[in-house]
Amino acid sequence: MPRLATLVENEDPQGLDALDALFPLTGRAHVVGVTGPPGAGKSTLVAELLRHIRGAGRRVAVLAVDPSSPISGGAVLGDRIRMMNHHADNGVFVRSMASRGRQGGLASATAGLVHLLDAVGYPLILIETVGTGQDGTDIASLADTVVVVEAPGLGDGVQAIKSGLLEVGDVIVINKADQPGAEDAQRLLRASFDLAHPNNGRFVPIVPTVSTTGIGVSDLLAAIDDHDAWLTETHQRSLRRERAARAEVLAGLRAALDRRLESGPGRSPELMALIGRVARRDLSPRRAVEALAVALDPPGRGNSIGD
Amino acid sequence: MGDNERRERDKTMEADASEARGAPVRILIAKPGLDGHDRGAKVLVRALRDAGFEVVYTGLFQTPEMIASAALQEDVQVIGLSILSGAHMALFPRIMDELHERGLEDVLVVAGGTIPKADIPHIKALGVAEVFGPGTRLATIADYIRDNAPRPSPLW
């Protein structure tokens, strides 16, 4: 299975074919996205969560996503360090993934690995990722339950609200809750939620935790399980599944379009000529794009990309 | 478009794409045993990242079982063992055993640290491909890995 995960991640045709064959088996796992700004303590928190989950005898898989260097293409995948205690435990599977500079494609690749873990029977799948906007919300849409981990002093609460992460959060965690500012952060978040985010009429819990000692982690697990139950009771799960399917299909489509641009039209003499004209102020960028859109999608075929 | 046609076109597209990209090589760097000095390993991890590798770093105090189990789950192509404590002759045979037990014979295993030259033939006999002494240039290590890392093999 780890080899299959590699083939899926590398978009190897054999891996993707296998994934297609396994796809009907998916849809059973509870997928939990754990996101939040760097420095909030997500890795340590996930490691603590693992301890509690295993303590209850439940099987779990973790997908830890880290950013790739845009310059070298390499990555340091260091989330696993804190989870090494579970090495002998067959009920835990931990896999690290680099973002590889894919934009839409990251969600595609992550979704692929999630489906694989789901199909082989892990009932709970945690995706740990840095949420700094685009990637955070992309991956959030793949999850049934989104946990946003904040910490006091990482920039004020306004930053968190602006970044849009709170809008997708089903459970909010204030980690490092033993530090000054934690209570204020909690108050601020609670107030902003009450005002602005009805979230389908559900009360969004804010859970204080101290991941280094484990305080609050059992409450977090309970909140995650509660959300799972809520999804079932209110039939919201099918909406989440649609949201996830939409995210995955659109992400795959964008990645395919990117590839098309890179290969054919992206290198064509026509494109180079148009770009030259824009640089010389001979043609406006908008007209250049229109000309290209027409080339990709000739008129008379209904909706075109340029519309 | 029929299934076969679509499959052929997909294969060409994907082959072109991965040829252009070349999926990055995944490496596991581990510090086995009781060696508590990780600054060198961290420098190596960052240098390998800058050389374009994806590096899973498992940190200090790794048992042979932890290393092999991580290598299996992460499906890495290369394992780098960093050891400064002198316990390599005790630990490396056990590590290689754990790797064999999990069917990980194809993984490229290299080692680095304060390993006396006299021990190198013994270590290589265990299946460790190369040993890098202290002061080896990081670029040398990166180049060696790039030239010798296996590609992920197909499932069947």
Q: What is the pLDDT of residues A223-239, one digit of tens each?
A: 999 999 999 988 888 88
Please give the Cα distance from A61 to A59 (Å, whole number): 7
Of the residues A228, A251, A274, the one at which a domain ends: A251
Is the predicted pLDDT of residue A12 greater than 80, yes or no?
A: yes
- Domain CATH for A82: 3.40.50.300
Q: In chain B, what residues touch A81 (CB-CB under 8 Å)?
A: 57-59
Contact A2 B72 (CB under 8 A): yes
For residues A172 and A281, state if they share a domain: no
* For helices A13-22 and A104-119, angle between their N-to-C axes, nearest 10 degrees: 50
At A123-171, the pLDDT tens digits run 999 999 876 555 555 777 888 999 989 888 776 555 655 556 667 788 9
Answer yes or no: are the C-beta atoms of A94 and A62 closer than 8 Å: yes
Please give the Cα distance from B34 to B93 (Å, whole number): 16
Kindly indicate the confidence band of residue A264, based on its pLDDT and cuts at 50, 70 and 90: low
Percent of chain B at pLDDT > 90 equals 66
The SS3 of residue B116 is coil
The SS3 of residue B61 is coil
Question: Looking at the domain assignment, is residue A258 inside a domain?
Answer: no
- Per the prediction, chain A carries an average pLDDT of 83
Q: In chain B, what residues touch A87 (CB-CB under 8 Å)?
A: 63, 65-66, 69-70
For residues A223 and A295, state if they share a domain: no
Question: Looking at the domain assignment, is residue A191 inside a domain?
Answer: yes
Closest CA to A251 of A118, A113, A141, A143: A141
pLDDT for res B18: 42
For residues A25 and A143, state if they share a domain: yes
Say yes or no: A263 contacts chain B, CB-CB below 8 A: yes
Contact B65 A98 (CB under 8 A): no
At B59-115, the pLDDT tens digits run 888 999 999 999 999 999 999 999 988 889 999 999 999 999 999 999 999 999 989
Say yes or no: A204 contacts chain B, CB-CB below 8 A: no
For residues A273 and A196, state if they share a domain: no
Q: In chain A, what residues touch B75 (CB-CB under 8 Å)?
A: 2-3, 5-6
Of A12, A80, A88, the CB nearest to B65: A88
Contact A72 B155 (CB under 8 A): no
Say yes or no: A83 contacts chain B, CB-CB below 8 A: no
For residues A27 and A163, state if they share a domain: yes
Say yes or no: A200 contacts chain B, CB-CB below 8 A: no
- Per the prediction, chain B carries an average pLDDT of 86
For residues A30 and A134, state if they share a domain: yes
Question: Looking at the domain assignment, is residue A257 inside a domain?
Answer: no
Please give the Cα distance from B31 to B45 (Å, whole number): 12
Shortest alpha-carbon distance between residue B25 and chain A (Å): 9
- Interface probe, candidates A87, A89, A263, chain B, greatest B C-beta count within 10 A: A87
pLDDT for res A269: 78
Q: In chain B, what residues touch A15 (CB-CB under 8 Å)?
A: 155
Contact B50 A96 (CB under 8 A): no
Checking ipTM against 0.95, whether it exceeds it is: no
CB neighbour class for B66 (10 Å; exposed up to 12, middle 13-18, buried from 19): buried
Question: Looking at the domain assignment, is residue A256 inside a domain?
Answer: no
Say yes or no: A225 contacts chain B, CB-CB below 8 A: no
Domain count, chain A: 2
For residues A198 and A63, state if they share a domain: yes
For residues A247 and A119, state if they share a domain: yes
The two structure tokens encoding residue A9: 């991640």
pLDDT for res A183: 85
For residues A244 and A269, state if they share a domain: no
Please give the domain boundaries of chain B with CATH numbers for all domains.
24-148 (3.40.50.280)
Kindly indicate the confidence band of residue A60, based on its pLDDT and cuts at 50, 70 and 90: very high
Shortest alpha-carbon distance between residue A106 and chain B (Å): 14
- Interface probe, candidates A1, A4, A6, chain B, greatest B C-beta count within 10 A: A6
In B, minimum Cα distance to A99 occurs at: B54
Question: Looking at the domain assignment, is residue A209 inside a domain?
Answer: yes
Contact A13 B62 (CB under 8 A): no
**Cα–Cα distances in angstroms (integers) from residue A162 to residues A40, A59, A156, in the given order:** 17, 36, 10
Print the domain residue range for A47: 2-251
Contact B57 A76 (CB under 8 A): yes
For residues A8 and A58, state if they share a domain: yes
pLDDT for res A304: 43
For residues A129 and A79, state if they share a domain: yes
Measure the CA angle with vertex A249, ends A243 and A251; round to 5°.
Answer: 95
Say yes or no: A260 contacts chain B, CB-CB below 8 A: no
Average pLDDT over residues A24-34: 93
Q: Position of tokens 């189990």?
A: B69
For residues A109 and A244, state if they share a domain: yes
Say yes or no: A81 contacts chain B, CB-CB below 8 A: yes
DSSP string, chain A: -HHHHHHHHTT-HHHHHHHHHHGGG-S-SEEEEEE--TTS-HHHHHHHHHHHHHHTT--EEEEEEEPPPTTTS-EEE-GGGGGGGGTT-TTEEEEEEE-TT-SHHHHHHHHHHHHHHHHTT-SEEEEE---SSHHHHHHHTT-SEEEEEE-TTSS-HHHHHHTTHHHH-SEEEE-STTSTTHHHHHHHHHHHHHHH--GGG----EEE-BTTTTBTHHHHHHHHHHHHHHHHHTTHHHHHHHHHHHHHHHHHHHHHHHHHHHHTGGG-HHHHHHHHHHHTTSS-HHHHHHHHHHHHS-TTSSS-TT-
Question: Looking at the domain assignment, is residue A259 inside a domain?
Answer: no
Contact B18 A12 (CB under 8 A): yes
Closest CA to A209 of A93, A51, A59: A51
Question: Looking at the domain assignment, is residue A174 inside a domain?
Answer: yes
3-state percent helix, strand, coil for chain B, nearest multiple of 5: 50, 15, 35
Average pLDDT over residues A276-299: 83
Shortest alpha-carbon distance between residue B32 and chain A (Å): 13
Q: In chain A, what residues touch B53 (CB-CB under 8 Å)?
A: 74
Q: In chain B, what residues touch A16 (CB-CB under 8 Å)?
A: 14
Q: In chain A, what residues touch B26 (CB-CB under 8 Å)?
A: 6
Is the predicted pLDDT of residue B26 greater than 70, yes or no?
A: yes
pLDDT for res A199: 60
Strand order in the sheet with A75-77: A75-77, B54-57, B26-30, B78-83, B108-113, B130-132
